[in-house]
Amino acid sequence: MKSYHQFCGVAKALDLIGERWTLLLIRDLLLGPRRYRDLLDGLPGITTNLLAARLRTMTDQGLIAKIKLPPPAGGEAYQLTPLGRQLEPAILALGAFGAQWLTTPATGDCLNPRWAMTSLKRRFQPRPGLAGSLAFHIGELSFQVVLTESSIDIRDGDLLTAEVSVSGPPMAWLTLLSARESFTNLTRAKQLHHTGPIALMKGFLLAIGARP
């Protein structure tokens, strides 16, 4: 492991996470465990050898750990350790800083609904009276969102007991979450479909700065 050899907190942090792809791997694990193949598919441009090397180093550093997924999924996956989870505020702060350059995707830019869902953690603003659970189905991906007045919890996977369920193709979701179109218009156009209390969905959208 390379080191800056500086007695400084920033330098020590970069000794651990300064290598290319490391922070993006942390980002992609914020919503829950991911298999090797999922991580590879979610990081266009990384090679299999480099991904394996990064995962090995991050495991040795105690940032991530390999786990066995429970049935019915099964298989091995990687998840953040408590040490790795400490980086969530830093990842969200970097996202907030970089968001000012998110205008129109440049040629070759990849889009991923998971990145948009992760960004909701930093965009969330407390909202009095807001509480409930939602299940979002974005193309083939599913996410569960649990809200309180002062917090939002977002994880991979379906939530069968959710009070609200919303489904639709990725581009409709990205249009909604980026506030370029309203939920009302997207549902009227049948690009998104929902069940459950509309007030909870609209409260969620207001809390993240989207258009109900």
DSSP β-bridge partners for residue 168: 138
Residue 73 has pLDDT above 80, yes or no: no
Assign 95 to helix, strand or coil.
helix
What architecture is domain 9-100? Orthogonal Bundle (1.10)
Residue 168 has pLDDT above 90, yes or no: yes
- How does pLDDT run across 19-64, given as a tens digit for each residue? 999 999 999 999 999 999 999 999 999 999 999 999 999 999 999 9
Q: Rounded mean pLDDT of 107-111?
A: 89
Residue % of the chain over a pLDDT of 90:
92
Number of H helices, E strands in the chain: 10, 7
Could you say which of 3.30.1050.10, 2.160.20.10, 3.30.1540.20, 3.30.70.100 is the CATH number of the domain covering 113-207?
Answer: 3.30.1050.10
- Domain locations along the chain: 9-100, 113-207
Residue 183 has pLDDT above 90, yes or no: yes
Residues 6 or more apart from 102 whose CB is under 8 A from it? none
pLDDT at 105: 84
Residues 6 or more apart from 83 whose CB is under 8 A from it? 62, 63
Assign 133 to helix, strand or coil.
strand
